Structure 1
Amino acid sequence: MTRWITLLTDFGHQDAYVGVMKGVICRIHPQAQVIDLCHEIPPQDCRTASFQLLQAFPYFPEGTVHLVVVDPGVGTNRRAIALDFGHAYGVGPDNGVFSQVCDRYPPQRVVQLTQARFWRTPHPSATFHGRDIFAPVAAHLSRGVDLEELGSPLDPKALVRLPNLGYERTPHGVQGWIQASDRFGNLITTLPADLLTEGDCYVETRGQQIPVAKTYGDVPPGSLIALVGSHGFIELAVNRGSAQKLLGCENGAPVWLIKQCS
């Protein structure tokens, strides 16, 4: 059996870490098809990892194994897990990186990776579980090993969830949070597009009232705008500029969607 494996990490491209993980996968399953999703996740940024995984998840063939290594707790007692979503799998740390995928596609089975015979070594490095645990497990899954062989069952409800990945209604407006920024400096919020059906609105953050429109070009160059991105969330942008630099918002910063007074 051959399944696709995707790789999502914060390793960057300066070091050999990503290549080493691919080498481990190839030794176990030479026929595996490996795709790099992204290796430029900001270091230890589980929120951005969760967002990026959600964006990629629905576009891959059935049976794909999604390997995520953004792991600030590597070597600690945080759990190593594998998840069965019915049509796809996940492998990585239980630190919230699967939060949004689990919310959108509830896993059918989850195991803690306790079976060392599926690791590269029974004595993994305290700093590189991507090489010694996660990559080998993903390779075994991709060649057809059943999830239950990999470890002990976990209740999906017991998995770590990241905070502030949804929205809530407040007297001031619908509050959401920044969940990621992209290469262009666009700030992606947790506010879904369907909130805009409730009437004319603007987005407020850092004391700025940002108008809502459909395209970047609807405002002059250098101007702020709120619009729906291809991911289905409201994002804050600057036409031919960077909202991140202009606003100085960090991941997790609050935003509000406020209805215009008529």
Structure 2
Amino acid sequence: MNITNKTILVTGGGSGIGYATAKYLSEKGNKVIISGRNAEKIEKAGKELGLDYIACDVTDAVAVNSLVNRMESKYADLSVLINNAGVANLYKLGEGAGAFEKSKQEFETNYFGPVRLTEALLPLLKKQPEAAIVNITSNVSFHPLVVLPTYSDTKAALHSHTVALRLTLSKETNIKLFEVMPSLINTDATKEMGGEQHGLPPLVVAEDIFKGIEEDRFEIYVGETGRQWADYFANPVAAVENFNHGLF
């Protein structure tokens, strides 16, 4: 799929992967709009990048509806949606862990958010000559990390949803559905888990998204994810234990 001269919406565009992806795709000749729940942060990012920006919390139905109305009225040529907004809680399951509240917060943003926004924007995307949805999941979508247990749950759910929606849309529309599975990336959100020391720069994800879409690779593995995927399907038990070595 051609990924130039497109109008693209990137959620969670105020920092990290979203910021880097918005910047990279803009430099490739696309009109990029970024959104984020923190109004000051997304305004700052928009001004730094010279991009249009919209404050929107993807867990808020009213805010999402407003965002969709704005896209329909001002960006009717929207052809690419990148669902990147996400939150994660670093902890371990067990007595007193607060897993219910943590998972509820994570699912609202990481799963229900993109599910709702995607469905709401499908009518607009269907109008374009070619269109794409890009869901950012993770290497934990196929094997959980015990210190990101319910975050892993959300990404596994989004992976499953992505596969089902891809098959459905392939029969009914010209919308292509891509899934991006990064390994550890150096962002503000990964500092507590060694992102600064061991993570890849967010630009790597942006570059792989661009290449993956161009090459119609519907599952885009970033960093160590491709090797981890192969290891998991060769021996799931050993792969999960190796992935969590020293953490349990």
TM-score tier (shorter): 0.3 to 0.5
More strand by proportion, 1 or 2? 1
More helix by proportion, 1 or 2? 2
Name the TM-score, length of structure 2 as normaliser.
Answer: 0.34
Name the TM-score, length of structure 1 as normaliser.
Answer: 0.32
Structure 1 or 2, whichever has the larger Rg, is 1
